[in-house]
Amino acid sequence: MRVLVTGAAGFIGYHLCINLIKNGIDVIGYDNFNQYYDVTLKNKRSQLLNEYANKMGKKFYLLKADLRDFETLCSFLNSHPVSHIVNLAAQAGVRYSLENPMAYIDSNIAGFLNVLEVARSLNIEHLIYASSSSVYGGNTNMPFSESDPVDHPLSLYAATKRSNELMAHSYSHLFGIPTTGLRFFTVYGPWGRPDMALFLFTKSILQNSRISVYNYGKMERDFTYVDDIVESILRLLPKPPAPCVKDDLITPNPSASWAPFRIFNIGNGQPVSLLRYLRAIENELGMTACIDLLPIQPGDVPATASDSSALSQWISFTPSTSIEHGVKNFVAWYKGYYK
């Protein structure tokens, strides 16, 4: 197995590459190092990946390039052939999609199309790609199930992620490419993105800055620790989806197909309020947050909750890291990294 990881210098990509190398798997990395957040973090992750690969006696290549550059992507993979792809590269962030919608079309649509095209040309054994719990949009039936309709996105970001799922299905149907979409539920942990709640809250508390808590503190999220995400991907890589029997698809199911295509939720299954999340950070820091309770923001959903039973049945693993354990690890990393 030789794996291309797009977004390799990103938060989840970094953790995945470390664990692939640890398991003796050759990794090819691809990342555009964009300026959405402090690129210093990406540079440091890249440095640590190279150091770890050298320590483990493994080769690791990371090309700084954009997925929209199809010629560069093809040329790179011709000289560094791969058997599997994990596509984690994307323009993230719900609120930023209100300010810069074109970035989401460029990265999440055009970039993903190029990933599908190289998967087609290279006869990839399995393409895993990041979708998002945001696709559930206006759904209110909890917990969210992969069989739920997802036709009412509340942000352009969510719409592009749902588009990825539809695009993947068309390529699975037309060209037989095994594709697995993972609907991530609020991933957090060390080396996380600076625009995420855990990072923002920790920084603000340490600086005695005020914290905006939206929907008057009634937000609930199914926070999922990054190690659980990585373990799930590692188990999924050698298990590409098989086509369902057409007779089993009389009732339409968005998560399965007669094509080699699957969609899985990947969440902790234990949603908690944003205020409880904040209290866990306060406990680790030994400090109290100064909170401003504000109305819900455009594009946000009030709550998320994952039914990950299908994933658990498929790979015999269930994400289960507690908020207290995950936050403790993040705070320890944050205080060490930023001294």
Catalytic positions, written as ranges: 157
Determine contact, residues 168/179, Cβ cutoff 8 Å. yes
152: phi then psi, degrees, rounded to nearest 5: -135, 65
Beta bridge partners of 184: 132, 266
Determine contact, residues 92/193, Cβ cutoff 8 Å. yes
The two counts, helices (H) then strands (E), for the chain are 12, 13
**DSSP per position, 154-181:** SSHHHHHHHHHHHHHHHHHHHH---EEE
Q: What is the DSSP letter of 306?
A: B
Beta bridge partners of 5: 29, 86
Q: Judge if the upstream peptide bond of residue 302 is cis by omega within 30 degrees of 0.
A: no
Matching residue, tokens 């990946």: 49
User: What's the rounded Cα separation, in Å, for the pair 119 and 126?
Assistant: 8
User: What's the rounded Cα separation, in Å, for the pair 160 and 284?
Assistant: 36
